[in-house]
Amino acid sequence: MLNDTSLMSGTSACPGCPENIAMRMLSMALGKDVALVVIAGCSSVTQGLAPKNAYGYASLNIAFAAGPPAASGMWRAYKRRNRDVTVVVWAGDGGTSDIGFASLSGAAERNEDFIYLCVDNEAYMNTGGHRSGSTPHGALTPTTPEGKSGNKKEIPFIMIDHNIPYVATASVGYPHDFIDKVREAKTIRGFKYVHVLTPDPYGWLFDPSRTAEVAKLAVQTCYWPLFKWKDGRIEVSPESLHCLKKETRRPLKDFLSIQGRFKKIDEKGIEDLERYIDELWERISLNLKR
Amino acid sequence: MQHEYQYFPITVPGKGAGGQTGTWRFVRPVVNLNKCIGCRACWMFCPEATIHVIDGKVEVDYDYCKGCGICANVCPVKAILMEGEDQ
């Protein structure tokens, strides 16, 4: 049986929270001896009220931009004391793509030996679902009531350009793929970046029971690619191999129609999103491992 | 312990840090054990860690289950049904 002790029952998260699913899968992948650095976000709140804590791992709650520097110090301290502990930075998409990006980039440049895990729910969900750099084109949020005009910031590709040893993307809808990637990241020395898509029922406006279904649909419609970048080449996961050809992709409308945040998107907006997905996969196929 | 807690903002892992979250629920998952094949899909996707697989069969911890319904949605044999809490 896999270990799932990183999350205790009775968290303060909303029903159907995908970040809790991701947290349980993290412990299935890494087991014991993990230290978490939790950057401000939903995950700081889901831990509940003192004196109890819902996370079973030793976790340090810290401000947005201070996560990667704190983790840099932490892994060095563990190394100095000869303890084999995996340090994981647990950050939301706002803490990764907008506010904490400078220190993330700095830690990647220094090639610090820890895992940076970004749980991407595509908005600042903790403070009410405002637009972040990771929000896709056409999505409604309280700060973009007519739909966001720009495209999603592609953090995995930015991290690939930092030339770090390991970059991977995952989705909570495909647990085995996610667990395998985190396990592989643990074996590599240097800066590891894992980006996991976590569809949030209350920000994306769908029924909480369909969290896993939407996470699977995002991959099947090729909106979210599953790949890993290692040794200078991209390797596409088996779940995403059908996306390399345009004819075999599932129609994007299956993914958009299930969510309330895309209810104002028009035909032109869907075309723009499809063009974005085409360009994304062209970019992936240029660096593909054959 | 009380004394230490007043000076250091340190918490300890424990169940129910957000309270008895079972009271949030308005639909409850009911498992049909005759249909359950013990595949652990519900255990894998439960966001609250309230599903326990004991001897290949599923048990739900109703003290903390929030009733989101992910388990009923991912079940491949539809052994879990969501029933109203007032029934």
A2 pLDDT more than 70: no
Residue A75 · residue A191 · CB < 8 Å: no
Is B16's CB within 8 Å of A209's CB?
Answer: no
Tokens of A139: 């999505």
The answer to whether residue B18 is domain-embedded is no
Name the burial class of residue A149, with classes exposed (0-12), middle (13-18) and buried (19+) by CB atoms within 10 angstroms of its CB: exposed
pLDDT on residue A255? 92
* Predicted local distance difference test score (pLDDT) of residue B7: 60
Q: Is the pLDDT of residue A1 over 80?
A: no
pLDDT at A219: 94
Return the pLDDT at A190. Answer: 93
Tell me the residue type at A242.
H
pLDDT of residue B3: 58
**Does residue B5 belong to any structural domain of this protein?**
no
- ipTM exceeding the 0.95 mark: no
Largest CA-CA distance found in chain B, in angstroms, rounded: 53
Q: What is the structure's pLDDT at A288?
A: 81
CB contact under 8 A, A9 and B64: yes
Nearest beta carbon to residue B18 from set A1, A10, A56: A10
Measured distance CA(B26)–CA(B39) in Å, rounded: 26
Taking the C-alpha atoms of residue A177 and residue A227, their distance in angstroms, rounded to an integer, is: 10
pLDDT, residue A50, reads 78
Find the mean pLDDT for residues A196-215. 92
Inter-chain touch B17–A47, beta carbons under 8 Å:
yes
Question: Which residues of chain B make contact with A47, given a CB cutoff of 8 A?
Answer: 11, 17
The shortest CB-CB distance from B47 to any of A12, A18, A50 is to: A18
A81 Cβ contact partners less than 8 Å away, ≥ 6 residues apart: none
CA distance B81 to B87: 13
Per-residue pLDDT tens over the stretch A98-155: 999 999 999 999 999 999 999 999 999 988 889 999 999 999 999 999 889 989 999 9
CB-based contacts of A114: which residues, under 8 Å, 6+ apart?
A71, A72, A74, A75, A86, A87, A88, A89, A107, A191, A192
Q: Is residue B37 part of a domain?
A: yes
Q: Are B19 and A59 in contact (CB under 8 A)?
A: no
Q: Rounded CA gap, A93 and A105, in Å?
A: 14
**In this structure, what token pair is assigned to residue B75?**
């079940």
- Residues of the domain holding B49: 29-87
pLDDT classification of A232: cutoffs 50, 70, 90: confident
Neighbours of A95 (CB within 10 A): 30
Å between B34 CA and nearest CA of chain A: 23
Q: Residue A199 and residue A216: Cα distance in Å, rounded?
A: 10
Residue A68 has pLDDT above 90, yes or no: yes
Please tell me if residue B26 touches chain A, with a CB cutoff of 8 Å. Answer: no
Residues of chain B with pLDDT under 50: none
* B68-B73-B74-B80 Cα dihedral, nearest 10 degrees: 90
Count: domains in chain B: 1
The class (CATH top level) of A18-286 is: alpha beta
pLDDT band at A221 (very low <50, low <70, confident <90, very high): very high
Res A201: pLDDT: 92
Q: Are B70 and A49 inside 8 Å of each other by CB? A: no
Residue A49 pLDDT grade (very low, low, confident, very high; cuts 50, 70, 90): confident
Do residues A173 and A213 lie in contact, with contact meaning Cβ atoms separated by under 8 Å? yes
**CA atoms of B32 and B29, how far apart (whole Å):** 10
Distance from CA of A82 to the nearest CA of B (A): 24
- The CATH number of the domain holding residue B82 is 3.30.70.20
Report the helix count and the strand count for chain A, using DSSP H and E. 11, 9
Mean pLDDT for chain A overall: 91
- Specify the pLDDT at position A32: 84
- Using a 10 angstrom Cβ sphere, with 0-12 exposed, 13-18 middle and 19 or more buried, the burial of residue A235 is middle
A61, two tokens: 């709650």
Find residue B54's DSSP bridge partners: B57
Residues 6 or more apart from A128 whose CB is under 8 A from it?
Answer: A142
Is B51 domain-assigned? yes
CB contact burial A153-179 (16+ within 10 A = b; e otherwise): bbbbbbbbeeebbbbbbbbbbbbebbb
First-to-last CA distance in chain A? Answer: 35
pLDDT digits (tens, 9 = 90+) for A265-282: 999 999 999 999 999 999
- Domain residue ranges in chain A: 18-286
Whether residue A194 contacts residue A170, with contact meaning beta carbons closer than 8 Å, is answered with: yes
DSSP H helical segments within A190-247, as ranges? 201-204, 211-220
Average pLDDT, chain B: 86
| Among the partner residues A8, A20, A213, nearest to B47 by beta-carbon distance | A20
pLDDT value for A96: 92
Whether B12 maps to a domain, the answer reads: no
Q: Is the pLDDT of residue A178 over 60?
A: yes
Q: For helices A18-30 and A175-187, give the axis angle rounded to 10 degrees.
A: 50
